[in-house]
Amino acid sequence: MATALENELMEQMKVCMKSGDKIGLAAVRMVRTKVMEKRTAKNATEVTDEVVVDVIRNYVKVLQSSIDELKAGGASEEEANIAQMLAEIQYLARFLPQLMGEAEMAVIVDEILTREGITDPKMFGKATGLIMKDYKGKVDPGLVAKLIKAKLGG
């Protein structure tokens, strides 16, 4: 049975087909394919909206990684394949929850470091793990790492 987010993706796919939005159509089709792979995988668990969001987030990470690799190889943002990937990322952003801002995240980092008594830079991994466990999908891991390093001096 399809989740609410899967139904929304299906509706968006129809809208993209009718309007000729090739970028949106490609992005939604890929996400739906990845969700189907999750659903039919050996030892598959139930597909929920959270699983669908994780699929979207992972696909966006793959796209961003590909862009970074291409740029490292000398490609510019104007190249068609990079422009396509950037457009897909932008299209899919509407389906992802809004991440906490730096100020809000800084308060959480302070609270967790204080609560757990973490002051040693060697405890960076523990601090990161605690935050990511409690706030997965709500925070940018890179921002979390930056804020923890700033606090611990690592």
Domain identity same for 107 and 132:
yes
pTM, 2 dp: 0.73
pLDDT at residue 12 greater than cutoff 90: yes
**Interior CA angle at 14 toward 10 and 20, to 5°?**
135
Q: What is the CATH number of the domain that holds 24?
A: 1.10.1510.10
d(CA 83, CA 73): 16
DSSP, residue by residue, 44-64: PPPP-HHHHHHHHHHHHHHHH
Q: Domain range holding 136?
A: 102-152
pLDDT tens string 100-150:
888 999 999 999 999 999 888 888 889 999 998 888 778 888 888 899 999
Phi, psi of 72 (to 5 degrees): -65, -30
Question: 30 or 50: whose pLDDT is higher?
Answer: 30
pLDDT on residue 154: 62
Helix (H, G, I), strand (E, B) or coil at 130: helix
d(CA 109, CA 120): 14
What is the mean predicted confidence (pLDDT) over 26-40? 94
Domain identity same for 77 and 112:
no
- Work out how many domains the chain is built from and give that number: 2
